[in-house]
Structure formats: structure tokens, C-alpha cells
């Protein structure tokens, strides 16, 4: 019998030995086996790191190539999930490999990413979801600052919320997309999950619950049902609420899991929002247009000719003619021209696709003006729950 086979026998006989009450010896052997597997994993991780380092060396010596390719990482994780025979859960693969990719990518270059801060906000959570934890996080006070830092090259990327399934468009984001010299490089969809956070566990002795007005409204029914006599405190942000909860055991905050980690809190109750499926769409902004991935979106902003009957209809008809599917249309008033509007259009495909390029050429000829905002890989469907909210995006809702 081989050594490997001998090491497996204890785990196979463990149930029988447990029946006799003596599990110490087989449990110790199983734990040694787990430790051995962990060392094997570490060895393979270091092998992966060596290969990534060689990729970085080739990039330095040859044609300039981006460090981060959203579609490559998306497809890599999807392929791993498809190939997973179990019992390791598919839901854990994206989380584990996102951090592996982030850590090994940092050997090539440490990326910096701007987001709407402070630490513990939902935009912070979105950044970690997209890039992993091995990055240089740059919290910003406003959305405009995220755009400015990215435009100036002070950060490699920015992450900004653009719309929410229940609250609608983030108007400030659309305005900055027009004004800033940045390119949309990717998108992600984040399901809004609110959590009750507290310094100590349980609901006993709780006197106040604090959060930004938006998550408080999203959890109104839960609060009335579970904590009808607790005082509700509005704060400027979920991060501020978490800070208060960290210093007062009688106060709980409503916010994200990452806020709990940032401020040393426990998740007392998870998923306390009243409406399930509430989702925020975030955009990744940068300076370069990603190559076609086979599953892309293109975003363009148009102005139609004023006082020309059917101008918008003829403009949009160009896309129907070439069978280009439009996924969203938003309008915004022009700042310096009363009663004239900007039309933001998202469409399936990449700028390098022939049909889309021809449709866009025809539409641009009919428009008064246009600006291509980006061609980028589409987001995956909303994965396992993680927090995200539009509240951080609109000054009328406060921070974040």
C-alpha cells in the first residue's frame, strides 16, 4: 500500500472510531493532511507568482501592455467555476481567486484606485470586489475628485457608481463623464446588502441605530419589526455611523461588511434591507480602451439638433438598421443651454465591431455632437451578495 493511500485511511475510518468515542488520533492525522495540502497550495501560489513576474518582465521588454485586463480576469474565474468538480463551493472561487490575482498582479505593478470614501463605504466595497485587496486605495471626498485624479494620471483607475435599480441614475456621474477626459474601462454590478453592525453581539441593550438616510429608508420595515423602540440617528455616511458604533456599545450602525472590518464591529444581523435584488451599477474609469472581449458594451453621449423634428428618432434608427441592441438611454439637461439635452446611450458590442462602428458613424453624422465614453467588458451577473449603494454618489443623499 502506498504512503498516500496510508494517509487517506484514517479519514476513511474516522466515523467508525468516532462511534467508539476516540477521535483524537484520526483527527490529528486529518489535520496533518490539511496542513500538508496548505503547504502544497502555498508552493503552487509561489509558482504562479513566479510566472506572473515573468509576464511583467516580458511586458517591460516588449510592446506596452496593460497590467489590468478586466475581461481576462472575468473569463479566468468563469473557466475555473466551469471546471470545478466540487466539493469546494463555486461561490468561493471568485473570492479566493480575485485575491490570488490581485496579490500576484501587485508583483508586476501596484495599482492605485480612486473611489468615493471614506474607508468602509460601499464604493470601497465595490473596489475590493473588482480589484482585490492588494492595491493602493485612494479615498476621495467627492465624485468629481475621483474623475480628476484619474484624468490627471494620479491613479490608474477610478470606480464610480452610475445608477441603481431603485434610485435611478447618479446624475453627478453622468455630468463628470461628459466633462472629464477619461474612458470607461469596465463595469460591475453590486447587490445592495445592508447589515446591522455593533461593537458587541446581539440586540440586547441596544438604544440607537445610526446610518445615512438612504440605508435607513431601505431597512425601515425591518427596524419597525425588530427594533420598534430604538432611536434612529441619521448620519452623513454609513462610515460615520460605523465610527459612532465603534465608540458606543449601545449604538449600532447599518452598513457594509467592509465597514465592520474597518471599524472593528460585528455583523449582528445580515441582509436586513426590505427590498431584495436592489443593485448598483459601478463603472471603472481609466485612460485606455480595453480590447474586445466578446461580451462588451459601448457608451456614447449625443446631442440632437435643436428644433429638428425627429432628430433623436433618426439618430437612434441608425442602430436598428445595423441590428445593434441598445441597452439603456438616459437624458440630462445641458448646463449652459436651457431646454437642450444630452442623450447617453449604452449599446451591445465594441467599437471595433463592424456593425457597431457603421451604426455609430451614421448616428454621429445625424447628431449635433457626440462623445464616445468607452468600450468595455460587460459585468457578470450579480454574484454572491455584497454591499453597494447609490447613496454614496449623490450630494443630495450625503456620502457614501
User: Does pLDDT of 399 surpass 50?
Assistant: no
Residue indicated by cell numbers 490627471: 152
User: 84-115 pLDDT, tens per residue?
Assistant: 888 888 878 877 887 787 777 777 777 899 99
User: Is the domain of 247 the same as that of 344?
Assistant: no
User: Does pLDDT of 384 surpass 60?
Assistant: no
Cα gap 346→231, rounded to integer Å: 43
pLDDT classification of 348: cutoffs 50, 70, 90: very high
Mean pLDDT, the chain, integer? 82
User: Is the domain of 95 the same as that of 126?
Assistant: yes
User: Is the domain of 330 the same as that of 393?
Assistant: no
CB count within 10 Å of CB 50 equals: 11
pLDDT classification of 325: cutoffs 50, 70, 90: very high
Inside any domain, residue 110:
yes
H or E element at residue 335:
none
Which is nearest to 212 in space by CA: 123, 95, 329, 149? 123
Instruction: Work out the widest C-alpha separation in the chain, in whole angstroms.
Output: 89
User: Is the domain of 257 the same as that of 350?
Assistant: no
Q: Would you tell me the crossing angle of helices 354-366 and 311-321 to the nearest 10 degrees?
A: 170
User: 158-208 pLDDT, tens per residue?
Assistant: 999 998 887 788 889 999 999 999 999 999 998 878 999 998 778 888 999
Give the domain CATH number at 149: 3.40.190.10
What average pLDDT does range 233-242 have in this prediction?
88
> End-to-end alpha-carbon separation of the chain, Å?
61
Gyration radius from the chain CA atoms: 25
pTM metric for this prediction? 0.74
The predicted structure's pLDDT at residue 22: 82
Cell of 359: 451604426
User: Is the domain of 80 the same as that of 165?
Assistant: yes
Name which residue leads in pLDDT, 107 or 367.
367
Q: Which residues neighbour 307 within 8 Å (Cβ) at sequence distance 6 or greater?
A: none
What average pLDDT does range 25-48 have in this prediction?
88
Cα gap 133→258, rounded to integer Å: 11
Inside any domain, residue 33:
no
Inside any domain, residue 15:
no
Which is nearest to 77 in space by CA: 388, 385, 381? 381
Domain count, the chain: 3
Give the domain CATH number at 372: 3.30.70.260
Inside any domain, residue 159:
yes
**Residue 393 in contact with residue 142, Cβ under 8 Å?**
no
User: Is the domain of 303 the same as that of 242?
Assistant: no
**Residue 172 in contact with residue 56, Cβ under 8 Å?**
no
**Residue 182 in contact with residue 158, Cβ under 8 Å?**
yes
Q: Using alpha carbons only, what angle is made at residue 384 by residues 383 and 390, rounded to the nearest 5 degrees?
A: 75
Inside any domain, residue 7:
no
What average pLDDT does range 349-353 have in this prediction?
94
Cell of 41: 497550495
The predicted structure's pLDDT at residue 134: 83
Inside any domain, residue 400:
yes
User: Is the domain of 265 the same as that of 118?
Assistant: no
| C-alpha distances in Å from residue 69, one per residue of 133, 185, 293 | 16, 9, 10
3-state secondary structure of 239: helix
Cα gap 252→210, rounded to integer Å: 6
User: Is the domain of 283 the same as that of 349?
Assistant: no
User: Does pLDDT of 7 surpass 70?
Assistant: no
User: Is the domain of 287 the same as that of 316?
Assistant: no
User: Is the domain of 74 the same as that of 186?
Assistant: yes
The predicted structure's pLDDT at residue 327: 93
HSE value, Cβ hemisphere, 13 Å, CA-based, for 76:
13
Inside any domain, residue 32:
no
Q: Which residues neighbour 390 within 8 Å (Cβ) at sequence distance 6 or greater?
A: 161, 163, 164, 167, 170, 214, 280, 397
Highest mean pLDDT among 144-158, 196-210, 384-398: 144-158
User: Is the domain of 282 the same as that of 271?
Assistant: no
Cell of 121: 463605504
Q: Which residues neighbour 56 within 8 Å (Cβ) at sequence distance 6 or greater?
A: 107, 108, 109
Inside any domain, residue 157:
yes
HSE value, Cβ hemisphere, 13 Å, CA-based, for 240:
13
Residue 87 preceded by cis peptide, ω within 30: yes
Name which residue leads in pLDDT, 373 or 384.
373
User: Is the domain of 202 the same as that of 309?
Assistant: no
H or E element at residue 154:
none
110 lies in which domain range?
43-59+67-190+277-292+381-400
| C-alpha distances in Å from residue 63, one per residue of 57, 59, 132, 247, 324 | 11, 6, 26, 52, 33
Pairing assessment for the beta strands 208-211 and 251-255 based on DSSP bridges: parallel
| Domain boundary pick from 242, 275, 308 | 275
Amino acid at each position: 500500500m502506498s504512503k498516500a493511500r496510508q494517509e487517506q485511511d484514517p479519514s476513511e475510518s474516522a466515523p467508525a472510531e468516532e462511534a467508539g468515542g476516540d477521535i483524537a488520533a484520526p483527527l490529528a492525522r486529518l489535520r496533518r493532511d490539511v496542513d500538508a495540502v496548505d503547504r502544497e497550495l502555498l508552493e503552487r501560489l509561489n509558482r504562479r507568482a513566479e510566472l506572473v513576474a515573468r509576464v511583467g518582465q516580458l511586458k517591460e521588454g516588449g510592446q506596452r501592455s496593460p497590467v489590468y485586463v478586466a475581461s481576462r480576469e472575468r473569463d479566468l474565474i468563469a473557466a475555473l467555476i466551469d471546471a470545478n468538480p466540487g466539493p469546494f463551493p463555486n461561490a468561493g472561487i471568485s473570492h479566493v481567486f480575485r485575491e490570488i490575482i490581485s496579490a500576484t498582479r501587485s508583483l508586476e505593478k501596484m495599482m492605485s484606485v480612486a473611489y468615493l470614501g471614506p474607508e468602509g463605504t460601499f464604493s470601497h466595497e465595490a473596489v475590493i470586489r473588482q480589484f482585490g485587496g492588494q492595491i493602493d486605495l485612494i479615498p476621495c471626498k467627492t465624485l468629481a475628485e475621483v474623475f480628476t485624479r484619474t484624468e490627471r494620471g494620479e491613479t490608474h483607475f477610478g470606480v464610480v457608481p452610475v445608477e441603481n435599480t431603485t434610485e435611478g441614475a447618479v446624475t453627478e456621474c453622468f455630468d463628470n463623464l461628459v466633462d472629464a477626459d477619461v474612458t470607461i474601462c469596465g463595469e460591475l454590478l453590486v447587490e445592495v446588502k445592508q447589515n446591522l453592525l455593533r461593537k458587541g453581539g446581539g440586540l440586547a441593550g441596544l438604544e440607537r441605530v445610526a446610518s445615512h438616510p438612504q440605508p435607513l429608508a431601505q431597512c425601515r420595515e425591518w427596524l419597525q419589526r425588530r427594533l420598534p423602540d430604538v432611536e434612529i440617528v441619521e448620519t452623513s455616511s454609513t462610515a460615520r455611523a460605523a465610527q459612532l458604533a465603534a465608540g458606543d456599545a449601545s449604538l449600532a450602525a447599518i452598513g457594509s461588511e467592509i465597514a465592520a472590518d474597518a471599524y472593528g464591529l460585528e455583523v449582528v444581523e445580515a441582509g436586513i434591507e426590505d427590498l431584495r435584488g436592489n443593485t448598483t451599477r459601478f463603472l471603472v474609469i481609466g485612460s485606455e480602451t480595453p480590447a474586445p472581449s466578446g461580451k462588451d458594451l459601448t457608451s456614447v453621449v449625443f446631442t440632437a439638433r435643436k428644433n429638428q423634428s425627429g432628430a433623436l428618432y433618426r439618430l437612434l434608427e441608425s442602430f436598428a438598421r445595423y441590428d445593434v441592441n441598445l441597452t439603456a438611454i438616459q437624458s440630462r439637461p445641458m448646463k449652459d443651454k436651457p431646454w437642450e439635452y444630452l442623450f447617453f446611450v449604452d449599446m451591445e458590442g465594441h467599437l471595433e465591431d463592424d456593425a457597431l462602428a457603421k451604426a455609430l458613424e451614421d448616428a454621429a453624422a445625424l447628431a449635433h455632437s457626440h462623445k464616445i465614453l468607452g468600450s468595455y467588458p460587460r459585468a457578470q451577473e450579480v454574484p454572491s451578495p455584497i454591499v453597494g449603494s447609490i447613496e454614496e454618489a449623490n450630494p443630495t443623499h450625503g456620502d457614501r
